[in-house]
Chains A and B, each alone.
Chain A
Amino acid sequence: MRLLALDTCTEACSATVIIDDEAHSQYQIAPRQHSVIILPMIESLLAESGISLKQLDAIAFGCGPGAFTGVRLGASVTQGIALGADLPVIPISTLASLAHTAMRLQGANQVLSAIDARMGEVYYASFQGSSADDLSCIGEEKLSAPESIDLPEPQASIAQWTGIGSGWDTYHQQFLQRSEIVTGSLAFQWLEDKFPNALDIALLAKIQFANGKMLTPEEALPVYIRDKIV
């Protein structure tokens, strides 16, 4: 199975080509440079992995939430490539991809992903699972001020939660002052400096692909969460 994944939703710009169990990835922190570097990045990954676009089975992309322009850029690039190469697309949530990062790097199985949404708010969601196959979102992805996010229900059996994403980097003080955490009914550790990564998007998309969850190129659409814009 051959997948291309890309993400331009936040400060990081990344792409991954997966050929069965082999992955080729590039990841770069490049604020406002995504539009310039994304296609050359994909081109060099395809060259490195020795396959052409036509040999891919699908394109996965980080569909948001994140910066509006970045989220739309990823969707635009995906639409363009998918239309030209006649490929199905697989949207993957940036929050879910972060949860997968925490799982992959630290074996975390309860994750609260939060992305800085500017204007004093974060995009966030809680996830549980033990592998890419069973990673699931508890409730839904939301937007709120860091001090008023819905924290996951304390689970007696598993004590530890992991926080990941720029929302944590910016607002960990506010999170950690929440009474649930102060009183110890929820335990948190925090994984610093992580942005959505196309590698995790690809690994999650693999499961979607196996389950036949592909969309048409025109369905490669952004998920903004923040809809109050005027």
Chain B
Amino acid sequence: MRVLGLETSCDETGIALYDTDNGLLAERLYSQVSLHSEFGGVVPELASRDHIRKTLPLIRQTLNEARLSIDQIDGVAYTAGPGLIGALLVGAGIGRSLAWSLGIPAVAVHHMEGHLLAPMLEAVQPTFPFVALLVSGGHTLLVYVEKVGHYQILGESVDDAVGEAFDKTAKLLGLPYPGGPELSQLAKSGRQGIYRFPRPMVNRPGLDFSYSGLKTFAMNTVKKLGDSIDAQARADIAYAFQEAAVDSLVIKCKRALKQTGLTSLVVAGGVSANDCLRGELKKLCDKMSVELYFPKLEYCTDNGAMIAYAGSLRLMDGHIEEAVIEAKPRWPLDTLS
């Protein structure tokens, strides 16, 4: 079964063709980063306006690369949520209508399920059940994954998402948007032990996270330095922020693995591209004899491949939906089945 995947939940237009027999056939990704960078964050209306210009040309390019025509696809998967309502509606509107006009099934995909299943696109795949750490611009989730569609939330952020904290702290340090990757680059020239950021929520039982305090701590540190802040101080702050952010993720992963007794950990979402996080989790998992899985770097952040893949699983399972266009800006992962 060949499934066309459409991802338009935020600031990337991602299109992919996934074949359940032959794997990924072709894909295209267009990032709007340059469009939003001058505003220091995603401007929702601009994002929507760009998605509707880019989606069809990218679908055509993807089909061309796979040497297929539109009537050779068997299903359409589109991100229906969570995300920006206007942006979601473009992908949902085009995707659902396209499937309807071709007379093929469509499936509304949960964006975070897409992230969660992205490691399944790799050669070595995790086996169910596993613990998943989903870390992105809008989410920080620890999930007990029994099987596809069966997700139990073990813990989540009570305030900012970890990616958001990376981005806000980066902005504070004068880095361009989106700051996560930039901050982690800057942290490479930072020194250990100059600043110590708090580890929010680690002294409390449970698996929830909190990141707004880290951001505030970074702000106060920058303020205290005032005009005396130099390149080295910035790098030291970046280092200390990242160390604390990663540390709290690692501590909670350890707890979740112990609590569930599971021996596989899947990490996905934009922040899973962070090499410090990857390194620390590797150490943890080696120590605990836990198998660790990541998506490849391109599939950490938003992309069409993960949506096509997640959708293909549901379509293969016989998913049927009405010809109704639906976008769900808020859509809890644990309401899936």
Contacts and interface: CB of A to CB of B under 8 A. Distances in A.
B100 A84 contact: yes
Nearest to B90: A76
A79 B326 contact: no
A73 B93 contact: yes
A81 B101 contact: yes
Given A82-B101, A229-B43, 8 more contacts: A36-B325, A40-B323, A72-B49, A75-B52, A80-B98, A86-B70, A218-B57, A229-B46
A91 to B, nearest CB: 13
Given A69-B86, A229-B45, A84 B97 contact: yes
User: Which of B52, B59, B101 neighbours the largest number of chain A CB atoms within 10 Å of its CB?
Assistant: B101
B92 to A, nearest CB: 7
A72 B86 CA distance: 8
A36 B324 CA distance: 5
Given A69-B89, A84-B70, A230-B43, A35 B327 contact: yes
Contact of A79 (B55, B70, B71, B92): B55
B96 A80 contact: yes
Contacts of A222: 49, 52
Interface of B: 39, 43, 45-46, 48-49, 52-53, 55-57, 59-60, 70-71, 85-86, 89-90, 92-102, 322-327
B93 A53 contact: no
Given A35-B93, A39-B96, A229-B43, A68 B323 contact: no
Contacts of B323: 39-40, 43
Contacts of B92: 35, 76
Interface of A: 35-36, 38-40, 43, 53, 68-69, 72-73, 75-86, 217-218, 221-222, 224, 229-230
25 contacts: A35-B89, A35-B324, A35-B326, A36-B324, A39-B97, A39-B324, A53-B101, A68-B48, A69-B48, A69-B86, A73-B325, A75-B52, A76-B89, A76-B93, A79-B94, A80-B97, A80-B98, A81-B100, A81-B101, A83-B98, A84-B97, A84-B100, A85-B102, A221-B53, A222-B49
Contacts of B70: 83-84, 86
B324 to A, nearest CB: 5
Contact of B102 (A35, A36, A38, A84): A84
Nearest to A85: B101
Nearest to A220: B56
B46 A230 contact: yes
Contact of B86 (A43, A68, A224): A68
